[in-house]
Amino acid sequence: MKIPATLLATTALAAITSVSAAPIADPGILGNLLGSISQATNQALSDILGSLGISIQNNAWMKGPYWSIDTSKHSNDKNAKHALKSHPVNWKKFQGWDTFSAHGSNLGAWLAVENTLTPTLFSNGGAPGVPDEWTFCQTVGKEACGKVLENHYATFITTADIDKLATVGINTLRITTTYAAWIDVPGSWLHHGNQQQYLRTITNYAISRYGMHIVLGLHSLPGGVNWLDIGEAFGHLDWWYNATNFDYSMQTVDKVLDFVQSSVAPRQFTVSPINEPCDDFANFATPNTVSYPDGVNYLNTYMKAVYAKIQKRLPGNYLMVSDAFMGPKYWAPFWSKSDKIAFDTHLYFFAAEGVYANFIPEITCGQAAATKPDGFNVFVGEFSLQSRYNNTFARRQEVYQSQVYSFAKYLSGSAFWTAKFEGVNPVDGEGTQNDYWNFLKLIDDGIVLPGGAINASYC
């Protein structure tokens, strides 16, 4: 099975296995310098951070524990049936992450395109099989690329889609964008066009008509944050330890905040300034996704700077903090319980060895209960219905509802990945990926019920 690059990101590898912290070498870094960057880069970063009252972070040693979730108690019978339950739900409007339960959907592959999620865009655009938007634009040229992408922005997600999502109680949209939606970086092949115009139409409509909350995310940052297509382009990893790209990133955040401030309801936005960061691709989606101590210090420096910008320009608005597959408890010690933040974790089972569809309802209940650090909010920013083995149409509803209910009961809710998904690669069991990842299709298939009702949860 060909796995979409975005979907390679799976905390299930950690979540279904009891993981203990590996021995950590003495960082050997003293003073105020990160070991992986030069004195000149440190000085440049310090200059950028100075106006925000932020310094380069050097406290990686404060980290909390990695994921450690015991799932050994689940049934070993891959065909066992659960006693399913109904639960009353009331998907309320956002008043703050401390009291919110998100019932959400991602609007992925819209303003940040991905080949395996929207293959026809690339094939019809004249570059079938290219791995990412960067290579697509290089292949067909900026003008042709721009025409294809602008048409995609205008048609892939419309207000009719928002209407349909509202019928099943969706109260949250997680929207992914590239940095090119906000700034034009010299040398970048990502398209810088009218993304904000289309984003404005959808967000204003969703907020004004339905009171939806918007998690507005940067799926990529200049230089590349994780070596994947979603980080900028395949093979790009130069965001890390690079003052120039750090500065471009802060300019991008400023433009995002400009957009939020000029919206119909600025309080209905949570800014998510990085997605699935990883400074060593060999360790992607492992407890060492972000290296210790330098990667941890550098990522925390960026997150603290963005938080300072948000509180300076929109006091009281929330920051979404990616857990980088290492678990929210790993990052909690770097923040105060009074900070306006929520952790973003991505929970998938499609690549986890030994996981049958039948196991997911059991696993997800215990997983959700063990995920939240005391006093902090956790949002499951991405999940799906696909398991590694034995996917069946009949189990989709219990797999969906058990995850949605447990994420709402123990955490601050979730957002399904994703609203539209064109990929048709086969899965183990019945159907194709489109049957397990396409939220609007799940509505059509009766898997997601009107109003977001829960009547088939294992939890």
DSSP assignment of 143-210: HHHHHHHHHHHHHSS-HHHHHHHHTTT--EEEEEE-GGGT---TT--S--SSHHHHHHHHHHHHHHHH
Tell me the C-alpha distance between 434 and 420, whole Å. Answer: 9
Residue 87 has pLDDT above 60, yes or no: yes
Weakest mean pLDDT among 66-80, 316-330, 421-435? 66-80
**Cα angle value 69/73/75 (rounded, 5°):** 130
Instruction: Check if the beta carbon of residue 149 is closer than 8 Å to that of residue 181.
Output: no
pLDDT class of 10 with cuts at 50, 70, 90: very low
Residue 323 has pLDDT above 80, yes or no: yes
Task: Give the orientation angle of helix 243-261 with respect to helix 294-313, to 10 degrees.
Answer: 30
What pLDDT, on the 0 to 100 scale, is given for residue 446? 98
Instruction: Check if the beta carbon of residue 16 is closer than 8 Å to that of residue 349.
Output: yes
- Residue 266: exposure state from Cβ atoms within 10 A (0-12, 13-18, ≥19): middle
Contacts of 181 (CB under 8 A, 6+ apart): 111, 112, 192, 195, 196, 199
Contacts of 392 (CB under 8 A, 6+ apart): 357, 429, 430
Beta bridge partners of 442: none
Q: Which amino acid is at 206?
A: A
Residue 12 has pLDDT above 50, yes or no: no
**Cα angle value 413/358/371 (rounded, 5°):** 35
Q: Is 456 in a helix, a strand, or coil? A: strand
Task: Give the orientation angle of helix 39-50 with respect to helix 243-261, to 10 degrees.
Answer: 20
Q: State CA 37 to chain mean position distance.
A: 27
For residue 344, give the DSSP letter.
Answer: E
pLDDT per residue as tens digits for the range 266-314: 999 999 999 999 999 999 998 899 999 999 999 999 999 999 999 999 9
pLDDT per residue as tens digits for the range 401-410: 999 999 999 9
What pLDDT, on the 0 to 100 scale, is given for residue 74? 72
Tell me the C-alpha distance between 100 and 337, whole Å. Answer: 16
What pLDDT, on the 0 to 100 scale, is given for residue 14? 33
What pLDDT, on the 0 to 100 scale, is given for residue 84? 93
Q: Is 110 in a helix, a strand, or coil? A: strand
What pLDDT, on the 0 to 100 scale, is given for residue 73? 61
Cβ neighbours around 243 below 10 Å, total: 18
What pLDDT, on the 0 to 100 scale, is given for residue 32? 43
Can you tell me the mean pLDDT for 76-104? 92
**Cα angle value 275/133/214 (rounded, 5°):** 40
What pLDDT, on the 0 to 100 scale, is given for residue 16? 30
pLDDT averaged over every residue in the chain: 91
Cβ neighbours around 99 below 10 Å, total: 10
**Which comes out higher in pLDDT, residue 5 or 239?**
239
219's enclosing H/E stretch is none
Share above pLDDT 90 across residues of the chain, in percent, rounded to a whole number: 82
pLDDT class of 82 with cuts at 50, 70, 90: confident
Tell me the C-alpha distance between 208 and 268, whole Å. Answer: 10
For residue 418, give both structure tokens: 């994703």
pLDDT per residue as tens digits for the range 109-158: 999 999 989 999 999 999 998 999 999 999 999 999 999 999 999 999 99
Distances (CA, A) of 195 to 74, 215, 454: 45, 16, 35
What pLDDT, on the 0 to 100 scale, is given for residue 420? 98
Distances (CA, A) of 364 to 195, 360, 377, 385: 36, 6, 17, 12
What pLDDT, on the 0 to 100 scale, is given for residue 69? 63
What pLDDT, on the 0 to 100 scale, is given for residue 106? 98
Predicted model pTM: 0.93
Tell me the C-alpha distance between 442 and 25, whole Å. Answer: 47
Residue 105 has pLDDT above 50, yes or no: yes
312's enclosing H/E stretch is helix 294-313
Tell me the C-alpha distance between 276 and 284, whole Å. Answer: 9
**Which comes out higher in pLDDT, residue 230 or 67?**
230
Tell me the C-alpha distance between 438 and 416, whole Å. Answer: 9
Residue 389 has pLDDT above 70, yes or no: yes
For residue 414, give the DSSP letter.
Answer: E
Strand-pair category, 454-457 with 172-177: unpaired
Tell me the C-alpha distance between 7 and 3, whole Å. Answer: 6
What pLDDT, on the 0 to 100 scale, is given for residue 341? 98
What pLDDT, on the 0 to 100 scale, is given for residue 67? 84
What pLDDT, on the 0 to 100 scale, is given for residue 29? 30
What pLDDT, on the 0 to 100 scale, is given for residue 127? 96
pLDDT per residue as tens digits for the range 158-204: 999 999 999 999 999 999 999 999 999 999 999 999 999 999 999 99
